[in-house]
Structure formats: structure tokens, C-alpha cells
């Protein structure tokens, strides 16, 4: 059993959950989504507080820093008077947008999607829901019929069982001004770039693993995630989502004693 030494005491703790993190600070919340009951549970906040603890296991010490909220810095301008609503085709598991000045701006300014060889901008399901919620895209089916937000969410959750937990984290980090892209080739859910940094300009700073607080994580899994981050020269960020869709972030780095 690893020894845990707390260097600071949080001002407020809640009952420990099965995921194993030691209570929480004031909860970070994202902005409300809109009409859906499930969507209305999301997160928003502003304060920054930290807790550091040292976890020692065998000959390796793991430094864990809990960061509860960072100042929000919205990644995109949502002024509807300036932004064109783009039609996005829901094709299987892909969301496709035709090439135009508006889609170029969407990619160049905020790095949403990837360009395909046929000059279509492909969005992930997470990116599509985020932009749909903000009124930046209109999702269409194969018959060019518009798909409502709640219906699209239902389809996305059917395609990806962990979609909702991943989306809560994706939205929270995007709202804070970070560019979030997939990290499947690294064996993680997301790679996240520092504010002001775009893919291609520099490397991502973190690999991120979203998880519900009720899930379990073995030491073997925990060590494997650390090895992935270490081998890719990135920091490991665990994003823990509770039952109220609040997100707590743990930044974890290897240390040699």
C-alpha cells in the first residue's frame, strides 16, 4: 500500500468516492447547455486552488497536483452577428463540412476538425456537439434534415458509450481556452495544447484521461498511463467527473527520489 503524505490541507472536503481522490475544492462548473435535463447539469467557475501530495511507490515517487479551476479564456468568438452557421453532414461516425471561407476560419482560428483530401472539414462528435450547442453549426442527416441537439447527443452516446464523460471534460477545457484534440495514437483520450498554442506550432502539453469518480483504477493502469505520458514527453492529466458533472483535474508527473 503506497504511503500518502499531504503537504496541504484543503479548506473543504467531501466524502471520498470510489475513484479515490481526496475530497474537492469549490466545484468547477461549465456553462449551462440549454434545454436537455442532462445537458443542464454542466460546469462553470473561476477560482484557482491547488493541492499537492506525494505518493510513494517502490523506488518511484509520483507528484500529484490537484488544480481546481483555471480562469476561463473562451477559445472562439461566438458573436452570432459575425459568425456564419455552417451546415454539417452527419455521415456515419463522421461530421463533414464543405470547404468555405467560414470553415477555413473555424479551423484556422480554433483548430476545430481536420482537413480531408477531398477538401472537407471533418469534425469529431465532441467538436460537433460543442459547436452545435454554441450555434456555430447545423447538423444534417443524409436527407438534409436538421438533427436536434438532444437527438444528436443520443446518437453520439450510442456510438461512443463514454461520450458524455468525455464531452464534459472536452467542453470544460475548451471553455478555458485550450485546444483539445484526439490522442488515440498515444493511447489516451485527448492531447491538450497550452493557451495560445495551436497544433503544428508546438507539441501538446498534456495527455488527458477523463474518468467518472465512481470508476476504479488499479496501480497497474495508473502506472501505464504515466508511462504513456512520460514516453511522449507530455504531462499526465486525470480529469475526474462527478455525478453533478463537475470536473476535478489531477496533474501527475514522475519523480526520482
Measured distance CA(189)–CA(197) in Å, rounded: 19
Q: Cell triple for residue 208? A: 488527458
Residue 207: C-alpha distances to residues 82, 134, 142, 250 (Å): 33, 26, 35, 12
Of 13, 50, 154, 203, the catalytic one is 203
Of 130, 193, 209, 249, the catalytic one is 193
71 counts as catalytic: no
Within 13 Å and on the Cβ side, how many CA atoms surround 154? 7
Q: Cell triple for residue 187? A: 493511447
193 counts as catalytic: yes
234 counts as catalytic: yes
Residues with Cβ < 8 Å from 9, sequence gap 6 or more? none
Q: Cell triple for residue 33? A: 447547455
Using an 8 Å Cβ cutoff, are 172 and 165 in contact? no
Burial (CB count <10 Å: 0-12, 13-18, 19+), residue 30 = buried
Of 120, 167, 234, 249, the catalytic one is 234
Q: Is 94 left (phi over 0), alpha (psi -120 to 50) or beta?
A: beta
Q: Cell triple for residue 186? A: 498515444
Full DSSP string of 74-124 = -SS---TTT-PPEEEEEETTEEEEE--HHHHHHHHHH--SEE-TTSEEEEP
Q: Which residues are catalytic?
A: 193, 203, 234
Amino acid at each position: 500500500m503506497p504511503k500518502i503524505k499531504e503537504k496541504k490541507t484543503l479548506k473543504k472536503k467531501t466524502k471520498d468516492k470510489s475513484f479515490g481522490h481526496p475530497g474537492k475544492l469549490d466545484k468547477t462548473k461549465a456553462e449551462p447547455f440549454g434545454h436537455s435535463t442532462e445537458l443542464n447539469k454542466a460546469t462553470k467557475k473561476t477560482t484557482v486552488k491547488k493541492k499537492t501530495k506525494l505518493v510513494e511507490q517502490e523506488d518511484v515517487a509520483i507528484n500529484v497536483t490537484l488544480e481546481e479551476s483555471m480562469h476561463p479564456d473562451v477559445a472562439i468568438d461566438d458573436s452570432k452577428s459575425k459568425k456564419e452557421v455552417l451546415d454539417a453532414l452527419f455521415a456515419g461516425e463522421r461530421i463533414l463540412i464543405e470547404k468555405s471561407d467560414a470553415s477555413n476560419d473555424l479551423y484556422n482560428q480554433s483548430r476545430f476538425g481536420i482537413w480531408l483530401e477531398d477538401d472537407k472539414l471533418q469534425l469529431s462528435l465532441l467538436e460537433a456537439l460543442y459547436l452545435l450547442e454554441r450555434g456555430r453549426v447545423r447538423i444534417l442527416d443524409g436527407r438534409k434534415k436538421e438533427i436536434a441537439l438532444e437527438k444528436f447527443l443520443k446518437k453520439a452516446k450510442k456510438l461512443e458509450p463514454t461520450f458524455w464523460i468525455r464531452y464534459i471534460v472536452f467542453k470544460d477545457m475548451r471553455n478555458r481556452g485550450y485546444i483539445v484534440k484526439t490522442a488515440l495514437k498515444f493511447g489516451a483520450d485527448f492531447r491538450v495544447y497550452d493557451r495560445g498554442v495551436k497544433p503544428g506550432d508546438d507539441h501538446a502539453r498534456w495527455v488527458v484521461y477523463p474518468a467518472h469518480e465512481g470508476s476504479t483504477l488499479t496501480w497497474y493502469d495508473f502506472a501505464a498511463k504515466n508511462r504513456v505520458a512520460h514516453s511522449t514527453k507530455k504531462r499526465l492529466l486525470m480529469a475526474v467527473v462527478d455525478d453533478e458533472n463537475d470536473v476535478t483535474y489531477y496533474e501527475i508527473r514522475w519523480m526520482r527520489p
